[in-house]
Structure 1
Amino acid sequence: MSKGMHIKGELRVRYGQATSAGVKPQNEDCLGIQIPDGDLLATKGLVVVVADGVSAAEAGKEASEFCVKSFINDYFSTPETWEVKTAAHRVLVSLNRWLFSKGQSLADERRGYVAAMSALILKARSAHIFHVGDTRIYRFRDGALEPLTQDHHTWVSSETCYLSRAMGMGINLDIDYRKTGIEPGDVLFFSTDGVHEHVKNSDISALLADPDVEPDAACQQLIDLALANGSRDNLSCQILRVESLPDANSNDIYDALSRLPFPPALKVGMSLDGYQVEAVLHESSRSQLYQVRDKETGERMAMKTPSVNFSDDAAYIERFIMEEWIGRRIANPHIVRTVEQARPPQCLYYLMENVEGKTLKQWMTENPSPEIGIVVDIVQQIVDGLRALHRRETLHQDLKPDNIMIQPDGVVKIIDLGSAYIAGIDETSVPFEREQNLGTMKYSAPEYKLGRRPSTRSDQFALAMIAYELFTGGQGSPYGEKFAAAHTLRDFSALGYQAAARTNPLVPGWVDGALKKALSLNSELRYEVLSEFVVDLKQPNPQFLESGNMPLIQRDPLRFWKGLSAVLGAMVVVLLFLLMK
């Protein structure tokens, strides 16, 4: 069945499929391809899948169909912010567990919902391959046919083998993953064993080498040849001819928005697209933030506009657009909400909810000695917002008191995503060098300066820096003044953690222990997950209480001062008694 030619933006492919039950009464193979519309093609890519239901299984046909249809549907339902590998792997693990659980309900659980499966996701100029079983994917390039997958067989003799891995075969899934570059002119060939075990590679190459043969016709010829050569199995194959790929000198996702002009600097009373400026909230060399009111509805919002200093900077424009893009995809009470524009924009800007209150920096100035419980509550809310980002494979990268708001009702919100790293977007091709971390170095983890790959633990470091400031009233620094000047591994190795209790004696030793761990210069020594950090701030971790040399004032300042007060009170009573005598 021919799918002919498909053109989406700069991606141009021709593809076709053919499948046959062969000599069997039922076809347990399944094929699928999905090319999404619009921006989804750039953020998620196109998907091609082939699956072969295991004949010995009781539900091989159902298993193969479930693998193909559910993988395609579920993959495109994952967040656009996720990397291909993350999204596909999570979907496959879920599908495998469902197949395995269904198989357990059958009379013979060893003959359940089992299928071999190979999937390819073509995103930008790379192919991401996921494979389990004995279905195959080949790449034909420059006259050579190259296998991109390896059969999962266990040989028991020179002529007999069994499938060692497949979807639904076990509760745990061991799947092969491979990422490889794709070039215009490449031909990708997908097949089940009913085809590739009965057709020579030279015959496959001969058909793939001829661009005049339509993909569906080539697939049918290969099936006919396999049948003629004695194939006794179901037969299925797909061909994907890559005519062209997204040009490294184009960026279709952002073209429309980047052609919008930058708005001029706005003043109170001025209007833009029906939004009247009521106040200038913030101005910097990179952007402006205004409080605006929709003249039609009266709703108050915040409007962020780009700085005209970067009107010809493609990397800056991409980052500005992505700030709104990720804001639309994160729904969390501790992340500022992006507001959809009521009218088509005439300039480049975006709208957010209007957050009342003060920045955490202002709050810290007004509250230099907050109670431990209040600090922990603030940290907990920031963690809730960060986890919403991290679940979408997004790093904030610029967490600092100026980017956090505390509302009058005590709700904490992260308000700036301008430096966020989005894994799914980072995989897309762009004609420029993307900006690296633009965060504030005072709060940035050492890995940024050392040129190492950041992770969620990098955001943890920044959060711990903020927590340290909260506990010390903004007066202390965990590594002193030399931290800002450190740029090499040797520089960082010379630094030592300075306990928060040195600045604020009321900070318990176990709180200092949690801060020290989250602020480890080596990211591997920090907490694995943010929730562990919060737990250790809320209650003493025995690990941080084992230090026998730690004085009581550090281990439990409240108990120390209560005890000291009791002693002093007793002394006063004794002195009064003596004086009265």
Structure 2
Amino acid sequence: MGSAQLSLSYGQAYVAPERRHHRSSMSVRYPDLGQLNAKGACAVISDSIRRNSMAKQAGDLSVRGFLADYYSTPDHWDVKTSATRVLRALNGWCYSQSQCVAEGGYVSSLSAMVYRGRTAHLFHLGDTLVFRLRGAEFEQLSRDHVTDLGGYRYPSRALGMDNSIDIDYAQFPIKQGDIFLFTTQAVLGTLMPSEYVQLIRQDASDLNAACDRLAGAAVQRAQSRGYGAEQFCFQLVRIDELPDEQPDHPGRAYGDLPIPPELSPGDRLDGLEVQAVLSRTAQSRVYRVRDIQTEREMVMKAPSPELSNRNVYLEHFLLQQWVVERVKSPFVVRIMESSRPRRYLYYLMAYVEGETLTEWARRHPQATLVQRLDIVNQLGKAIQALHHRDILHQKIYPGNVLIDTHGQVLLTDFSACRTRDGGSHGDARDLLRQVGLTEHSAPEYALDDSVGRRSDQYSFASTAYWLLTGELPYELTPNRLRSHTDLEQLVYRSARTRNPEVTPALDEALRRALDPQRSLRFRRMSEFLRELRQPLAAVRQEERPGPRVFRDSGQFWQGIAAILLLLLVLSWLLR
């Protein structure tokens, strides 16, 4: 007999004059077994204020956004890390969008409860209400965050209300038979705790019917007391069965798999035959493999067999596949699925027939400025695709850039990547140092300073400078810095002195993106790319040939004379 899994039931009831005018939203997500073990089941409720013209949009978006993003976080993140990062990102988006709305805003209270294993995790913002019914005990789990203004109660610490948020978090064990009630501030002043218990217990087997009883009783009580009864929202969740034991850390489906042994051409693993060894480093092994069943050629990346289980890189390895899966771009290498279940820790990428940017530059010393700028702009689009997902690559240099047989650029090797809020800058620095700093790494990595998108901008600009000039922008490479006083030795060497084709505007854009001080670089990658595209367009315009007849005035008049002479000869012959 298989082990028991977490099982739950739920019911809902909503009272509103018209569905399009509702300001509350609620949902329960019970995922498939894989995500149930890693992420758990989730119940969410949100509520906006009556005087908000964007109330419906705010309520719906907060619930849908939380559920979609929570289940998209890496499996090896714990519940608290995943939910808090999603809520902070969602809050930032709601707050920024509210600044663009003339009336109202994307502001709402929200309570989300994640049930994983034998534990419930509550995340709460604002004044939505969460209660637990255990036996005859009816207990409020959430705290009311409200402010009284002019006789009206408004939620405080709500989602989208400020650029930063303070999230209430609590976790507690759950028992079989526990019932959780999610509702809104509108019910206050209607039902007593004993009435909630009675109405729910009257027939707890049908939770939808129980929610209907609660809604009907709340409406009747509100009307009898002269309260507004136009908006009531009830959601009940019952724990039907608990798993036999608390699941191990999230991501155990991959994290507990053994590291593959050392492989050589001809060896087979999980139905994959090794064709060639592409790379062996202290941290990883990269192989070109062929799926025996489908005949597809792919690239397998696995941790080095020498790594211990507590190694920083190995802990980070689980994130790499998730990063590549999240980024959909023709300029970023694709993740591939194996035709068989994995028995070892690795991931598969599409095999690209091509060469690194280092090899391309060596084989094309006479490449034009237009060709080189085209490669630079493709690489910029790849980095933008990562940044749009709040991912830092952290190791952009010519050896990590592939150019396929059609001239398309692909960014590879995510061994140092991380999400922008994925730990402290010290964690990012330690990881990059283990993987290895390059001569294109931004100075802040060597100097223990904070890092961000503009750190990737520096590495990208350094790679572009190298491609355009064949040299580095500074005599002292940033990865050799020992103190902040060494920054004074970083004196920019103009790209125009090394390649006269580089325009003044392009040289100035490179200089700014390569500023040793991170705060002085371009604020956004898009600004830098716009500066790169302008000289590219200008160069193409100059190379475009004009009408042939105007390019040489001497040839033009010679042509006119020849035509007149021909007409004169014809006139004599036709006499």
Structure 2-normalised TM-score? Answer: 0.67
* AA in 1 matched with 2:73: E
Aligned equivalent of 1:415: 412
Compute the displacement of 1:401 (Å).
Answer: 1.0
* AA in 1 matched with 2:401: I
* AA in 2 matched with 1:77: A
Alpha-carbon distance change, 452 to 49 in structure 1, aligned in 2, over 3 angstroms:
farther
Compute the displacement of 1:413 (Å).
Answer: 0.6
CA distance in 1, matches of 2:448, 2:341: 41
Alpha-carbon distance change, 533 to 295 in structure 1, aligned in 2, over 3 angstroms:
same
Aligned 8 A contact 2:441 2:459 in 1: yes
Compute the displacement of 1:32 (Å).
Answer: 2.2
* AA in 1 matched with 2:265: V
Aligned equivalent of 1:501: 496
* AA in 2 matched with 1:509: P
CA distance in 2, matches of 1:466, 1:502: 17
CA distance in 2, matches of 1:528, 1:284: 35
**100, 109, 117: which one pairs with 2:108?**
117
Aligned 8 A contact 2:288 2:299 in 1: yes
Aligned 8 A contact 1:527 1:533 in 2: yes
CA distance in 2, matches of 1:126, 1:517: 46
Compute the displacement of 1:20 (Å).
Answer: 8.1
Aligned 8 A contact 1:70 1:95 in 2: no
Aligned positions of 1:474-493 closer than 5 A: 475-476=471-472, 478-481=473-476, 483-493=478-488
CA distance in 1, matches of 2:369, 2:18: 72
Alpha-carbon distance change, 525 to 224 in structure 1, aligned in 2, over 3 angstroms:
same
Aligned equivalent of 1:329: 326
Compute the displacement of 1:121 (Å).
Answer: 4.2
Aligned partner of residue 505 in structure 2, secondary structure: helix
Aligned 8 A contact 1:290 1:302 in 2: yes
Compute the displacement of 1:520 (Å).
Answer: 1.8
* AA in 1 matched with 2:260: P
Alpha-carbon distance change, 391 to 378 in structure 1, aligned in 2, over 3 angstroms:
same
Mapped pair 1:313 → 2:304: no
CA distance in 1, matches of 2:40, 2:387: 18
Aligned equivalent of 2:66: 75
Mapped pair 1:179 → 2:167: yes
CA distance in 1, matches of 2:49, 2:157: 9
**486, 489, 506: which one pairs with 1:511?**
506
* AA in 1 matched with 2:379: I
CA distance in 1, matches of 2:386, 2:314: 21
* AA in 1 matched with 2:508: G
CA distance in 1, matches of 2:144, 2:403: 53
**245, 269, 274: which one pairs with 2:271?**
274
Alpha-carbon distance change, 252 to 223 in structure 1, aligned in 2, over 3 angstroms:
farther
Aligned 8 A contact 1:258 1:348 in 2: yes
* AA in 1 matched with 2:45: V
CA distance in 1, matches of 2:39, 2:455: 25
Aligned equivalent of 1:528: 523
* AA in 2 matched with 1:184: F
**88, 95, 99: which one pairs with 2:90?**
88
CA distance in 1, matches of 2:457, 2:14: 54
RMSD: 5.2
Alpha-carbon distance change, 114 to 494 in structure 1, aligned in 2, over 3 angstroms:
closer
Alpha-carbon distance change, 25 to 388 in structure 1, aligned in 2, over 3 angstroms:
closer
Alpha-carbon distance change, 44 to 302 in structure 1, aligned in 2, over 3 angstroms:
same
Q: How big is each residue's C-alpha offset from its partner over 1:96-133, in whole Å with a ceiling of 9 and x where there is no partner? A: 899x89xxxxxxxx9xx9997311346799865555xx
Aligned 8 A contact 1:127 1:179 in 2: no
Aligned equivalent of 1:192: 184
CA distance in 1, matches of 2:22, 2:361: 65
Aligned positions of 1:145-224 closer than 5 A: 150-151=145-146, 154-155=149-150, 160-161=151-152, 177-184=165-172, 191-196=183-188
Aligned 8 A contact 1:138 1:145 in 2: yes
Compute the displacement of 1:92 (Å).
Answer: 4.6
Alpha-carbon distance change, 293 to 262 in structure 1, aligned in 2, over 3 angstroms:
same
Aligned positions of 1:384-403 closer than 5 A: 384-403=381-400
Aligned partner of residue 361 in structure 1, secondary structure: helix
Aligned equivalent of 1:573: none
Alpha-carbon distance change, 40 to 315 in structure 1, aligned in 2, over 3 angstroms:
farther
Alpha-carbon distance change, 230 to 419 in structure 1, aligned in 2, over 3 angstroms:
same
Aligned equivalent of 2:242: none
Alpha-carbon distance change, 254 to 19 in structure 1, aligned in 2, over 3 angstroms:
closer
Aligned equivalent of 1:32: 26
Alpha-carbon distance change, 251 to 425 in structure 1, aligned in 2, over 3 angstroms:
farther
The alignment-based identity, stated in percent, is 26
Mapped pair 1:51 → 2:39: no
Aligned 8 A contact 1:49 1:120 in 2: yes
Compute the displacement of 1:508 (Å).
Answer: 3.0
CA distance in 2, matches of 1:258, 1:296: 26
Aligned partner of residue 80 in structure 1, secondary structure: coil
Aligned positions of 1:221-370 closer than 5 A: 227=221, 230=225, 232-234=227-229, 252-313=249-310, 315-368=312-365, 370=367
Aligned 8 A contact 1:126 1:179 in 2: no
Q: Name which of structure 1's ranges 434-443 and 219-228 shifts more when overlaid on structure 2.
A: 219-228
Alpha-carbon distance change, 301 to 162 in structure 1, aligned in 2, over 3 angstroms:
closer
Mapped pair 1:455 → 2:455: no
CA distance in 1, matches of 2:123, 2:447: 29
Aligned equivalent of 2:374: 377
Aligned equivalent of 2:466: 469
Q: Name which of structure 1's ranges 315-324 and 409-418 shifts more when overlaid on structure 2.
A: 315-324
Aligned partner of residue 250 in structure 2, secondary structure: helix
Aligned 8 A contact 1:375 1:471 in 2: yes
CA distance in 2, matches of 1:376, 1:340: 34
Instruction: Give the number of aligned pairs.
Output: 486
Compute the displacement of 1:196 (Å).
Answer: 3.9
Compute the displacement of 1:84 (Å).
Answer: 0.6
CA distance in 2, matches of 1:281, 1:21: 62
CA distance in 1, matches of 2:466, 2:305: 34
Alpha-carbon distance change, 236 to 386 in structure 1, aligned in 2, over 3 angstroms:
same
CA distance in 2, matches of 1:337, 1:314: 26
Aligned partner of residue 165 in structure 2, secondary structure: strand
Compute the displacement of 1:259 (Å).
Answer: 2.7
Compute the displacement of 1:300 (Å).
Answer: 1.9
* AA in 1 matched with 2:480: A
Structure 1-normalised TM-score? Answer: 0.67
* AA in 1 matched with 2:452: S
Compute the displacement of 1:400 (Å).
Answer: 1.3
Alpha-carbon distance change, 85 to 193 in structure 1, aligned in 2, over 3 angstroms:
closer
Aligned equivalent of 1:104: none
Aligned positions of 1:130-141 closer than 5 A: 130-131=125-126, 135=128
Aligned 8 A contact 1:135 1:151 in 2: no
Alpha-carbon distance change, 8 to 334 in structure 1, aligned in 2, over 3 angstroms:
farther
Aligned partner of residue 46 in structure 2, secondary structure: strand
* AA in 1 matched with 2:165: Y
